Amino acid sequence: MSIFLREHYGNSRLTASEILKDPVLLLAFGFGSGLAKKMPGTLGTLAAIPLYVLLMQTPVAVYGIFTLLSVVFGILICEQASKKLDVHDFGGIVWDEIAGFLITMIGLPFSWHSLLAGFVLFRLFDIVKPWPIKWLDKHVEGGLGIMMDDVLAGVFAALILRFWF
């Protein structure tokens, strides 16, 4: 038994190996970052950083389109993953954190300060869930519900970063 990984995931009792072999679950679990026993959301956000670094080298329109697609397809990915796990919004589903972090950072010039500030602000809004994030988290079901609280956390963090940087 690992101190880092669970033996089974969700009510379907899937193994880490089964999750990593399923393309939908691989994405939903943030390329494996969501498999962690502790802080999978934080690790999922960390997994978004290399993707952000790649995307920030593209025109902002490409970054924006990719981010929009990550949200739209994320709704489907998270919906399918929650059905496969037989748990709504299982903690290991971290695609929503990846999309939310990309929203947080859209259009910002790269610096280690902006990256750190974006990471901290996004995680803060995602964990604390101020209104209306908490309301959405409790009242919107399915893949849309899984995604929307992180999308809004990303928007809140992005707005603060626009005034800061």
pLDDT in tens, 37-88: 999 999 999 999 999 999 999 999 999 999 999 999 999 999 999 999 999 8
Asked, as a colleague might, if the bond just before 50 is cis with ω within 30 of 0, I would say: no
Rounded mean pLDDT of 8-23? 96
Of 85, 71, 79, 100, the C-alpha closest to 15 is 85
* pTM of full prediction above 0.85: yes
Q: What is the pLDDT of residues 121-158, one digit of tens each?
A: 999 999 999 999 999 888 999 999 999 999 999 999 99
In this predicted structure, what is the pLDDT of residue 137? 86
Q: What are the domain boundaries of the chain?
A: 16-164
Confidence (pLDDT) at 69: 98
CA dist 97 and 79 (Å) reads 15
On the question of pLDDT at 3 being above 70, the answer is: no
Strands in 20-79 per DSSP E: none
For the segment 91-116, the average pLDDT, to the nearest whole number, is 96
Band (104; pLDDT cuts 50, 70, 90): very high
Among left, alpha and beta (phi > 0; psi -120 to 50; other), residue 109 is beta
Q: For residue 26, what are its two tokens?
A: 């691989």
pLDDT at 1: 52
